């Protein structure tokens, strides 16, 4: 039996977002301290889908002792302030030190965190934990969007990356990490490591593993994790983080160095062969509405408002798609999740059935103008949503005071927290049956697919204002290495700069 400290500290950073990630953003909407979250996570370990819950379930089953420390998560925005980073990382490291003596540490990290003073914030967390615990195994799970660095790989004994987007396998990744740790503890030997960065960035919307080429690539990856290769990972990266080492990477762990190198090289080769396929079609809102008429088969057509996805740093209050819906006078359309706490509060101050004169969305510094109109308040809630879909089954989302507002033929879920529509229950808890809609507008890039793809006649990716840009060629990188291609088969950053003059 081993004594293992567990903890986590996660944020996916979009350097181009307007607002930094503050300490308060790691508290939940009820302002409960993040530090109280580790223990409830362990209590729900067998039900919830997080790396830490899967790790703990597997490690406990194998007879190990788990010591929870700190677990903190924030929705994506710009750099984590130094104050927030020092405070939370300090708590995490202090918790791990206080848990000693230890045989191992498990960390539930994201891999695309950037702090004001640390480009590679996950590397810095690992460096501090390594300094605190010395030469014992440190294993960690990373998000599929991790921008993995050489330092992270060197500091951790093993890093295990999710293999699905939508992230259905977060807990499974934690279980894999626990199995690997178990064998390291039993043999007393850590595996050899190989690490490679890919030479191009992949827009998140084309990273989805329910479509090609990622679907086939991850199937081949799983099949290659055999014989001497004990763990193989492909992190697709998060292009919104403006750091030197942004972008996809491959990690291989094996009994011997040459096996690890061979496996990493082979997987890189497979990804590079499919570079051309990391591309798809996007629609203007107007073109998407026209296309939705052709594609409607009695089930809703989903318009993914990907650029305003809060999960990629979006403000969730851009109005491009909403305005197109209103202009075309559609009926049977529902939109989620629109972030406008002032509008939600105004709705809550009135009564269900009342009408409300409102300016919705497009808060400063938005270049858009808000949507003005007389909205009908159709339903109100405290925003507590019990998820039933495959990704977040058993988890509770807290949207804060929430209202269902209707303008013309469009129903809008207006919330007080910036959360993407992961689950059909976000509509249902307000009395809207998503499957009965003609159009569903979802401010999400890929995660919505876990619960909405099966009920949709089609999914159309829409280009509308938002910070989570689909085409990284539109981003003004300052720190990214200059020889990387900023999109699949696209120009390198160097070429892009000389073209811009």
* Closer CB to Zn ion, 251 or 288, in the complex: 251
Q: Is 247 left (phi over 0), alpha (psi -120 to 50) or beta?
A: left
How many Cα neighbours within 13 Å face the side chain of 129? Answer: 37
CB of 144 to Zn ion, least distance (A): 5
C-beta closer to Zn ion: residue 109 or 360:
109
| DSSP-assigned beta bridge partners for residue 355 | 376
CB of 462 to Zn ion, least distance (A): 20
The residue (of 145 and 418) whose beta carbon lies closer to Zn ion is 145
Please classify residue 227 by burial: count the beta carbons closer than 10 Å to its beta carbon, then call 0-12 exposed, 13-18 middle and 19+ buried. Answer: exposed
Closer to Zn ion at the Cβ: 73 or 296?
73
Residue selected from 91, 143, 245, 451 as contacting Zn ion according to rule CB under 5 A: 143
| 169 is a contact residue toward Zn ion (CB under 5 A) | no
CA–CA gap between residue 21 and residue 34 (Å, rounded): 14
Q: Using CA atoms, how far apart are residues 135 and 131, in angstroms rounded to an integer? A: 9
Choose the stretch contacting Zn ion; rule: CB under 5 A; options: 145-153, 168-176, 314-322, 347-355. Answer: 145-153
Helix (H) or strand (E) holding 334: strand 333-339
> What's the closest the beta carbon of residue 167 comes to Zn ion, in angstroms?
6
Cβ closest to Zn ion, residue 13 vs residue 288:
13
219 contacts: CB under 8 Å, gap ≥ 6 = none
Helix (H) or strand (E) holding 320: helix 320-327
Query: Residues with Cβ < 8 Å from 30, sequence gap 6 or more?
Result: 398
Residue 163 binds Zn ion, judged by CB under 5 A:
no
Q: Which residue's entry shows tokens 């994506």?
A: 76
For the CB of residue 318, give the shortest distance to Zn ion in the complex, in Å: 21
Per the CB < 8 A criterion, the answer to whether 195 and 148 are in contact is yes
Least distance in angstroms from the C-beta of 166 to Zn ion: 9
Q: Which residue is nearest to Zn ion (CB)?
A: 145
Q: Which residue, 123 or 237, is less far from Zn ion as judged by CB?
A: 237
Residue from 66, 120, 140, 145 touching Zn ion (CB under 5 A): that is: 145
- Binding residues among 378-407 for Zn ion as defined by CB under 5 A: none
Cα–Cα nearest to 93, from 124, 136, 66, 128 = 128
Is residue 449 a contact residue for Zn ion (CB under 5 A)?
no
Q: Nearer to Zn ion by C-beta: 64 or 145? A: 145
Size of the site for Zn ion (CB under 5 A): 2
Nearest to 87 by CA among 67, 108, 115: 115
Listed ranges 90-98, 136-144, 251-259, 316-324: which one lies at the site for Zn ion (CB under 5 A):
136-144
Q: How far apart are CA 13 and CA 7, in angstroms?
A: 20
CB of 497 to Zn ion, least distance (A): 29
**Site stretch for Zn ion (CB under 5 A), options 69-77, 138-146, 255-263, 452-460:** 138-146
State the Cα angle at 72 between 253 and 101, rounded to 5°: 65
In the complex with Zn ion, the residue whose CB is nearer, 145 or 193, is 145
Which parts of this chain interact with Zn ion (CB under 5 A)?
143, 145
């Amino acid at each position: 039996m081993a004594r293992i400290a567990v903890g986590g500290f996660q944020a996916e950073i979009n350097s181009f977002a307007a607002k930094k990630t503050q300490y308060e953003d790691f508290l939940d909407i009820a302002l409960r301290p993040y530090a109280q979250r580790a223990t409830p996570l362990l209590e729900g370990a067998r039900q919830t889908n997080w790396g830490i819950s899967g790790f703990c379930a597997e490690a406990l089953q194998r007879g190990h002792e788990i010591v929870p420390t700190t677990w903190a998560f924030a929705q994506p925005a710009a750099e984590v302030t130094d104050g927030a980073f020092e405070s939370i990382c300090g708590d995490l490291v202090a918790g791990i030190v206080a848990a000693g003596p230890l045989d191992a540490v498990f960390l539930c990290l994201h891999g695309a965190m950037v702090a004001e003073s640390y480009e590679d914030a996950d590397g810095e967390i690992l460096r501090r934990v390594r300094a605190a615990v010395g030469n014992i195994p440190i294993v960690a799970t990373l998000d599929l969007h991790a921008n993995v660095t050489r330092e992270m790989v060197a500091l951790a004994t093993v890093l295990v990356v999710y293999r699905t987007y939508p992230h259905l396998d977060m807990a499974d990744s934690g279980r894999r990490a626990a199995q690997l740790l178990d064998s390291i503890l039993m043999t007393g030997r850590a595996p050899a490591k190989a690490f490679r960065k890919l030479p191009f960035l992949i827009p998140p919307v084309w990273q989805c593993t329910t479509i090609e080429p990622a679907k086939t690539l991850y199937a081949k990856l799983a099949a290659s994790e055999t014989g001497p290769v004990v763990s193989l990972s492909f992190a697709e990266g998060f292009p919104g983080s403006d750091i030197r080492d942004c972008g996809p990477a491959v990690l291989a762990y094996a009994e011997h160095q040459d096996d690890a190198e061979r496996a990493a090289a082979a997987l890189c080769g497979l990804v590079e062969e499919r570079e051309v396929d990391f591309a798809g079609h996007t629609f203007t809102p107007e073109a998407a509405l026209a296309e939705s008429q052709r594609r409607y088969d009695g089930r809703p057509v989903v318009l993914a408002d990907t650029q305003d996805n809060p999960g990629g740093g979006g403000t969730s209050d851009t109005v491009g798609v909403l305005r197109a819906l209103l202009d075309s006078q559609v009926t049977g359309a529902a939109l989620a999740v629109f972030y406008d706490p002032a509008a939600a509060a105004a709705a809550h101050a009135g009564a269900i059935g009342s009408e409300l004169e409102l300016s919705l969305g497009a808060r400063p510094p938005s270049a858009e103008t808000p949507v003005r109109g007389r909205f009908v308040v159709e339903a109100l809630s405290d925003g507590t949503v019990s998820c039933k879909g495959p990704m977040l089954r058993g988890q509770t989302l807290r949207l804060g005071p929430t209202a269902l507002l209707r303008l013309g033929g469009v129903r809008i879920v207006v919330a007080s927290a910036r959360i993407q529509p992961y689950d059909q229950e976000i509509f249902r808890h307000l009395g809207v049956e998503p499957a009965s809609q003609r159009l569903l507008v979802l401010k999400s890039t890929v995660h919505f697919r876990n619960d909405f793809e099966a009920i949709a006649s089609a999914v159309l990716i829409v280009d509308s204002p938002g910070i989570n840009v689909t085409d990284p060629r539109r981003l003004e990188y300052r720190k990214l290495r200059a020889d990387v291609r900023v999109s699949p088969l696209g120009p390198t950053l160097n070429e892009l700069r000389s073209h811009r003059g």
